[in-house]
Amino acid sequence: MTQIDLTDRTALVSGSTQGIGLAIAVDLARAGATVVVNGRHLDGVERAIAAVQDAVPRARVTGVAADLATAEGAAAVVEQHPHVDVLVNNLGIFGSADPLTITDDEWRHYFEVNVLSAVRLIRAHLPGMTERGWGRVVSIASDSAVVTPAEMIHYGMSKTALLAVTRGFAKAVKGSGVTVNTVIAGPTHTAGVEDFVAEMVGSDLPWDQAQREFMRQHRPQSLVERLLEPEEVAHMVTYLASPLASATTGGALRADGGYVDAILP
């Protein structure tokens, strides 16, 4: 079996102090990449570095604390890590809200965090990747980009925008050896999602029962009928970051448990 080998590649994973981002950082480190984890706060970054090293004792991992939802934070990350071979835009926020009560400021905030954070890093790192003739950009979208829940319109909008961002930047670097893709992640088991599930079905249920009830009531399209684990999404990202995925670009690939009811992509 062909092994994924990212030795001598540097990977930056935004929003990687927990959840899917941390799982991606661990998986990339396991494949041999030098990994840069990111979060807004130094203590969270330090815990993430320790978690990666615990999972992969031979890992080469460092971190940078910065708020990538701001231009200043993005500039600080680029200044500290100007050479990136694999860029994973994982940073994102989500939550439920009555769509008629979402304010202009909330719409802007979701766009800043979930879309512009990715655009800033892509814009900064694509030139170097193109010059070197190799690079990987992977942005984490969501099933909500395609199947937008009524209670998460602002979130769905931001993830739909990432699909357009991906397709456009892939065209901008065509023929260069650089690929740009999106992973559509399905409902995934993270600490934040545990809180969201409790909000949607009640906090008095045991977790296993609450998870099943949430999927039954609110995500019945899922073909696996469970929340995904972060590692399952991470494996798709690691593949797209590897030389094995050289023919895949401009795509929206699903790691969604069959949630999106479509034949393509």
Active site (catalytic) residues: 155
As a whole number of angstroms, the distance between CA 258 and CA 35 comes to 30
Which two three-digit tokens encode residue 177?
């050896």
Sign of CA dihedral 83, 85, 61, 52: positive
Of 234, 228, 235, 229, the closest CA to residue 257 belongs to 228
Environment class of residue 103 by beta-carbon count within 10 Å: exposed (0-12), middle (13-18) or buried (19+)? exposed
Sign of CA dihedral 150, 152, 153, 158: negative
Cα torsion through 231, 34, 5, 142, rounded to 10 = 30
Asked if residue 30 lies in contact with residue 22, where contact means CB atoms within 8 angstroms, the answer is no
Asked if residue 125 lies in contact with residue 78, where contact means CB atoms within 8 angstroms, the answer is yes
Beta strands, E only, 14-164: 34-39, 60-65, 86-89, 135-142
Helix (H) or strand (E) holding 218: helix 207-218
The answer for residues whose C-beta is within 8 angstroms of residue 251's C-beta and 6 or more apart is: 166, 170, 181, 182, 265
Which two three-digit tokens encode residue 198?
């409790």
